[in-house]
Chain A
Amino acid sequence: MTKEFAQIKAVTNMTFSVKKGSIHGFLGPNGSGKSTTMKMICGLLVPSSGEVLVEGLKLETHFDQLKRSIGFLPENPPLYQSMKVKEYIKFVAGIRGVPRSKVKKRVETILTQCGLEKVMGRRIGNLSLGYTQKVGVAQALVHDPEVVLLDEPTRGLDPEAVDEMRKLIMELKGERTLLLSSHLLNEVQNLCSEITIIKEGKVIQNGSLSEIRSLFQQQRSFKVEVRKFNEDIFKAFRVKFGESLNLNYEKKNEQKSEEYLLNLKMPKTDDYRSEVCHFLVEKNCELLSFREESIGVEEIFRLATAEGILKENALKESVL
């Protein structure tokens, strides 16, 4: 889909899909078109061209039917400041079509699920930011939607509140399809199996986290903890493996001077793990641990949104 506002293209030919039952991370720098895209997905904005399909149905033509199965938490939660928490959730349940006989039970369930029982009698305007966001999530879930769009649910929250929000989102995993936009990339890494990265209204990466990781990870990186490592062994290592492996080392702890941390980088194409282990054992090093470090979402995001990648992708597309 494409969205133009007064001749400014906020979103350009954006195409991506979200698997049913998954938590899909939606990343992009500020002003990249994330909120506009989310509003188009839930039908609050009509695309200038293109279409949104929810379970194979066109959103534009089946809006009244599909909006029943969509829950949306915008960047600024739509809250009536003068209302009390329970009163507000009850009101939203009513206008979202929860049957009258089930409203009471549903409201109680959602208040418990979102951890709002303590504040249910308080006015929304008097709540802290953490609780305000939780009320926003509660309004998006109260009608039990199949698709939930959360735009920056952890924005402005303290670490404890972020942790609670993460738990809440994790509880929804599998039950519902979630599209999650967040600046906290660690959260995305912990919660999402698939991600879409956008920049300037265009999709620059889309797919499973492992696929995108392998795309961006030029070398495999390992952390090796050993005892009895020294400069001679390091020189011998360089002689044996030459330029194929990149190694540097540091003392892990001053007091336990025997322990060293080796940072090892090897090409994606060759696997030298076995040879490295044998070498270290032969040199009488005590191997304490050997673990692979995968590239973080933060690094992927930085690389993907860097100017060069966009040009590189455009080049690849033109070649294809």
Chain B
Amino acid sequence: MNLLRGIILTTKKELNDYFGSPLVYILTGLFNAIIGWLFFNYIVSAKNLTLLNLSHSVLIPLFGNINFLFLFLVPLLSMKLFSEEKKHQTLDLLFLSHLNQTQIIFSKFLAGLFISLFILSWTIVFPIILGFSGYNDWGLVISSYLGLVFSIITYLWVGLFCSSLTENPIISALTTFCFLLGMMLMVLTVNATHIEILNTFFQYLSSPFHYESFSRGSIKSYNLVYIFSFSLFFYFLTSKSLESRRW
């Protein structure tokens, strides 16, 4: 079967499911309301509205908060991707179809990514508002968005894997959230020990560390290697988890 046709069909079905449920609209509204409120507060509390100050006092913390909020959003968006299929035994339908396992996993991933980007896309309003006031450091904005997209990709892979483990969407969301939060807290704990080699190792494993490089506008090759290897590792785990249903 045409590789692309299979992915398009399943992704389209997933997107219809997403947009057919109120969850996405509620999450989009809630998320943007929080970000809007934070943006307003950062603007009000900024002492001087200079170019440098706007970047450091408004946009960098705002993007940091967006990244943090996605830690809560992605588990909710990814929770049903496989668990619901397992619960209603529709996963068997996909396995017996002409789609191979990679196509199934990627179509789910693309649907999750599309929805996350849909929610994120509304936040572009805030830099544009600053742009009307003369703000023009668009390199930082683009780099931060790139960092957010890569963070969302890593969160989604964890979400996909956790969703493939259970038939219960709530358990899937909680497991994803615990894993992502654990990844963040692990770095803080290791930092407290002041053991440099451990610090470096665990920092590398943690997604927020790599996001920081993007938000500073200094993207390193190892950031890209991390995202690629992280995705590959969780793709492998998801694949094995789905395969185990046949064992």
Stretch of A65-73, A219-227, A232-240, A244-252 on the interface side: A65-73
Q: How far, in Å, is A93 (CB) from chain B's closest CB?
A: 10
B6 contacts partner chain A, Cβ-Cβ < 8 Å: yes
Across the interface, do B9 and A80 meet the contact criterion of CB distance under 8 Å?
no
Across the interface, do B246 and A46 meet the contact criterion of CB distance under 8 Å?
yes
Across the interface, do A91 and B9 meet the contact criterion of CB distance under 8 Å?
yes
Give the distance in Å from the alpha carbon of A80 to the alpha carbon of B17 in the complex: 10
Q: Which residue of chain B has the shortest Cβ distance to A145 in the bound complex?
A: B96
From A44, A68, A92, A94, residue with most partner B Cβ within 10 Å: A94
B82-122 vs A, Cβ < 8 Å mask (1 yes, 0 no): 00000011111111111110000000000000000000000
Give the distance in Å from the alpha carbon of A100 to the alpha carbon of B245 in the complex: 31
Contact partners of A44 in chain B: CB under 8 A = 92, 95-96, 245-246
A20 contacts partner chain B, Cβ-Cβ < 8 Å: no
Q: A78-B88, A79-B88, A80-B13 are in contact. Are A97 and B96 (CB under 8 A)?
A: no
Across the interface, do A64 and B93 meet the contact criterion of CB distance under 8 Å?
no
The residue from A76, A83, A95 contacting B99, defined by CB atoms under 8 A apart:
A95
Give the distance in Å from the alpha carbon of A82 to the alpha carbon of B16 in the complex: 9
Across the interface, do A43 and B96 meet the contact criterion of CB distance under 8 Å?
yes
Q: How far, in Å, is B229 (CB) from chain A's closest CB?
A: 29
Q: A78-B88, A78-B89, A82-B20 are in contact. Are A72 and B246 (CB under 8 A)?
A: no
A81 contacts partner chain B, Cβ-Cβ < 8 Å: yes
Give the distance in Å from the alpha carbon of A76 to the alpha carbon of B95 in the complex: 16
B240 contacts partner chain A, Cβ-Cβ < 8 Å: no
Across the interface, do B10 and A78 meet the contact criterion of CB distance under 8 Å?
no
Contact partners of A78 in chain B: CB under 8 A = 88-93
Across the interface, do A94 and B88 meet the contact criterion of CB distance under 8 Å?
no
Contacts of A51-85 to chain B: CB distance below 8 A = 64, 67-68, 70, 72, 74, 76, 78-83
B222 contacts partner chain A, Cβ-Cβ < 8 Å: no
Contact partners of B245 in chain A: CB under 8 A = 44
A22 contacts partner chain B, Cβ-Cβ < 8 Å: no
Give the distance in Å from the alpha carbon of A4 to the alpha carbon of B190 in the complex: 44
Across the interface, do A45 and B246 meet the contact criterion of CB distance under 8 Å?
yes
Across the interface, do B89 and A96 meet the contact criterion of CB distance under 8 Å?
no
A205 contacts partner chain B, Cβ-Cβ < 8 Å: no
Give the distance in Å from the alpha carbon of A43 to the alpha carbon of B92 in the complex: 10
Give the distance in Å from the alpha carbon of A94 to the alpha carbon of B2 in the complex: 11
Contact partners of B16 in chain A: CB under 8 A = 83
Contact partners of A64 in chain B: CB under 8 A = 100
Across the interface, do A80 and B246 meet the contact criterion of CB distance under 8 Å?
no
Q: How far, in Å, is B239 (CB) from chain A's closest CB?
A: 15
B1 contacts partner chain A, Cβ-Cβ < 8 Å: yes
Give the distance in Å from the alpha carbon of A254 to the alpha carbon of B94 in the complex: 62
Give the distance in Å from the alpha carbon of A79 to the alpha carbon of B90 in the complex: 6
Identify the 3 closest CB pairs spanning chains A and B, nearest first: A95-B97, A97-B98, A78-B93
Q: A: which residues have CB within 8 A of B? A: 39, 42-46, 64, 67-68, 70, 72, 74, 76, 78-83, 91-92, 94-97, 100, 139
Q: B: which residues have CB within 8 A of A? A: 1, 5-6, 9-10, 13, 16-17, 20, 88-100, 245-247
Subset of 8 A-B contacts with CB under 8 Å: A43-B246, A45-B246, A74-B89, A74-B92, A78-B88, A78-B92, A95-B1, A95-B94
With contacts A78-B90, A83-B13, A95-B6 known, what are 16 further pairs, Cβ within 8 A?
Answer: A39-B92, A44-B92, A44-B95, A64-B100, A78-B89, A78-B93, A80-B90, A82-B20, A91-B9, A92-B93, A95-B1, A95-B9, A95-B98, A96-B97, A97-B98, A100-B5
